[in-house]
């Protein structure tokens, strides 16, 4: 067994996309709760204490979504109280809680996705099907940290030259616009240099070969098959109406048919599988270290 991030990018991609797609297109509270638990478990398993610090703003986002929805959405038959002649209903409160779970869970899944799927993994994933798309994605991800580093460097240079005379809002705006102007010029010059370099190296002349350090092994095939099977089973249950939840006009109970229970179990396994792989590998590594 190995950590989830060490699996082949194809298996990792379909696993995260499968669980995240269900969480984005479903409003069933049980499915959304499983998605949120799995995303949070994976993120904390990979980042530890640093991840806990980063997660501090997610409860605030959850509360804003959960509280804000009843203030603007007044559907529902169960009125809790009236605020400024607008009813606040129990159904809208439940819907806001579900929206908060969906938003936070989706953000956490794609946060882990951005950490795991680095530029070389994306290049491997899309290189065979669309080399140009893979190159664009790889260069885009590369330029994000470069832009950030260049902006900090430019900002420090501006301060060293004494261009920030006073610490006030107009001075900060002028400084920010000056840094943005320098970044635009730097990006254009760097783009021309990159294009010339690629032309000099013969890019686009002939058919490109592909090199990858990743190998598709049996364990990767098992993870891929499990991800596809669990995702297909969940979407089948959603399409057949075996799982689902109605908030308006009144809250309906969660469907507890045998097939619906199977769907919940399969999606729970899909959501928790990445975190289980990460935690089991971390425990195995600690066990090996303690045996030395």
What band does 14 get if pLDDT is binned at 50, 70 and 90?
A: very high
Q: Which of 151, 153, 156 is nearest to 181 (CA)?
A: 151
**119 and 222 co-located in one domain:** yes
Task: Out of 15-24, 49-58, 151-160, pick the least confident.
Answer: 49-58
**116 and 257 co-located in one domain:** yes
Task: Out of 140-154, 173-187, 241-255, pick the least confident.
Answer: 241-255
Q: Average the pLDDT over 5-28 and give the result.
A: 88
**96 and 164 co-located in one domain:** no
Q: What is the pLDDT of residue 164?
A: 63
**49 and 187 co-located in one domain:** no
Q: State residue 92 phi and psi, 5-degree precision.
A: -70, -30
**248 and 283 co-located in one domain:** yes
Q: Average the pLDDT over 9-33 and give the result.
A: 88
Identify whether 210 is part of a domain: no
The total domain count for the chain is 2
Identify whether 206 is part of a domain: no
pLDDT at 273 over 80: yes
Q: Which residues span the domain enclosing 167?
A: 129-200
Q: What is the pLDDT of residue 215?
A: 84
**99 and 33 co-located in one domain:** yes
Predicted TM-score of the model (pTM): 0.74
């Amino acid at each position: 067994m190995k950590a989830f991030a060490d699996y082949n990018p194809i298996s990792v991609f379909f696993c995260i996309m499968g669980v995240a797609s269900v969480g984005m297109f479903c409003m069933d509270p049980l499915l959304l709760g499983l998605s949120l638990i799995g995303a949070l478990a994976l993120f904390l398993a990979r980042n530890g204490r640093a991840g806990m610090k980063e997660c501090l703003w997610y409860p605030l986002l959850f509360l804003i979504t959960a509280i804000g929805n009843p203030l603007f959405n007044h559907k529902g038959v169960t009125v809790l109280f009236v605020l400024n002649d607008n009813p606040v209903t129990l159904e809208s409160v439940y819907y806001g809680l579900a929206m908060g779970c969906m938003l936070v869970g989706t953000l956490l899944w794609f946060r882990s996705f951005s950490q795991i799927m680095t530029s070389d993994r994306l290049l491997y994933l899309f290189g065979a099907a669309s080399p140009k798309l893979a190159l664009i994605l790889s260069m885009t991800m590369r330029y994000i940290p470069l832009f950030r580093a260049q902006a900090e460097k430019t900002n420090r240079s501006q301060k060293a030259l004494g261009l920030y005379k006073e610490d006030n809002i107009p001075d900060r705006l002028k400084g920010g616009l000056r840094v943005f102007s320098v970044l635009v010029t730097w990006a254009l010059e760097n783009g021309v240099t990159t294009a010339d370099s690629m032309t000099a190296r013969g890019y686009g002349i002939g058919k490109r070969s592909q090199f990858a350090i990743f190998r598709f092994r049996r364990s990767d095939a098992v993870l891929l098959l499990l991800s596809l099977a669990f995702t297909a089973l969940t979407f089948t249950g959603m399409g057949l109406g075996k799982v689902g939840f109605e908030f308006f006009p009144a809250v309906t109970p969660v469907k507890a048919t045998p097939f619906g229970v199977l769907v919940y179990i399969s999606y729970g396994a899909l959501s928790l599988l990445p975190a289980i792989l990460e935690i089991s590998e971390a425990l195995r590594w600690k066990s090996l270290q303690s045996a030395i």
